[in-house]
Amino acid sequence: MLLCAGCLYQMLYDYGIDVDQKIPWLRAWFTKYQLPDGGYNCNEDAYTKEVKKSSITSTLPIVESLMLFDKDQMTESESDALYKAADYIVLHKLFRKESDLSIMDPSFIDIRFPRFYDYDFLRGFTFLYNYREKYGYNFPDSLTDEVEELVNQNLSEQVITLKGTTFKERSYNPTDDGKWELGQASYFDLMKLMMEPNHQSLVLTTEWEKMKPKYLKVIKSYERSTSHPIQLSRGEQVTVLKKDLPKGWFLARKSDGEEGWAPLKILYGSTITQNYDATELSVDKNDILKVYYEETGWYWCKNQDGLSGFVPKENIEMEKLF
């Protein structure tokens, strides 16, 4: 039911319906039914067992729904739910079991679109990417690296190519007397398209082009400004010394007196809402960097020696090499 609730909320929202006004109880489910591990589960039995385990398939529609709101539109419990769910997804590396890191379900590494109720690794990564862009959530670069490798395995002429989805051949159908009986399933045109093998998805390809890491060249050397970058933790209280609203940064002072700049998106009042690492990376002209994401005028990069950190955007060539 939670899976359906998340999908329903998004569909109605996209149609311009005020979901909270029409179905006032629905949004409350997103915090009420979150399990201790941070995820959700459509199976009611999961809530009565001694060890309560979530389903990543059930979790995604809920967090996608919560992502529809801006920070000032969310309650504190909703913000906490979003963060915990993201941690749950990262802990499982998008599609792996926590116990031995084996693949939860082979279908999770097959890219699907449209997704309906289905889950795949790219859907999970898209949520994490958007959560980082909007709220400053950080996740390991290694996760992006594995997603990049998996997507590359599904590219044909640089376009994401789908294998084709198999649907059940039988379904419940309405009868003339208002009842429902099990019979032959029927398919609408979009479902038929999904069933075709080697269908190329321009929608997912465009989405991936935005999210994927880029390989760029340094056009101007940069020396890191400090060897002791500020580190901030979610829930930490800081003193805000200055705000640079046009650039999107604030100057924070920690309780131990340490000072440093951080993006405004991780600040709520005087509380830090996401973990933040201000490490910078020294680079030389013509270095080739793997750029994972942009953070308000800076790129988070990895050099060819495997060292990571922020580099000013202005020091890096804008056109990707490959």
pLDDT single digits (tens) 226-251: 889 999 999 999 999 999 988 899 99
Answer CATH for 231-277 from 3.40.1350, 2.30.30, 1.10.3470, 3.40.1000: 2.30.30
**pLDDT by residue (tens digit) across 111-168?**
988 777 789 999 999 999 999 999 999 999 999 999 999 999 999 999 999 887 777 7
pLDDT at residue number 164: 78
Using an 8 Å Cβ cutoff, are 63 and 85 in contact?
yes
pLDDT at residue number 1: 67
pLDDT at residue number 94: 97
pLDDT class of 322 with cuts at 50, 70, 90? low
Residue 300: both structure tokens together: 């988070």
Alpha helices (runs of H) in the chain, residue ranges in sequence order: 2-14, 19-22, 29-32, 56-66, 76-91, 121-135, 141-152, 189-195, 202-211
Using an 8 Å Cβ cutoff, are 298 and 312 in contact?
yes
pLDDT at residue number 189: 86
Q: Where are the domains of the chain?
A: 2-159, 214-223+281-315, 231-277
Q: What percent of the chain has pLDDT over 90?
A: 74
**pLDDT by residue (tens digit) across 182-212?**
888 888 887 787 788 888 899 999 999 999 9
Domains 214-223+281-315 and 231-277 agree in fold: yes
214-223+281-315: CATH topology: SH3 type barrels. (2.30.30)
pLDDT at residue number 159: 95
**pLDDT by residue (tens digit) across 29-50?**
999 999 999 999 988 888 888 8
pLDDT at residue number 169: 81
Average pLDDT, the chain: 92
134 vs 137: CA distance, rounded Å: 8
pLDDT at residue number 178: 86
pLDDT at residue number 321: 63
Using an 8 Å Cβ cutoff, are 68 and 30 in contact?
no
- Ranking 13-17, 71-75, 282-286, 288-292 by mean pLDDT, the lowest is 71-75
Q: Above 70 in pLDDT, residue 172?
A: yes
| Residues 6 or more apart whose Cβ sits within 8 Å of residue 305 | none
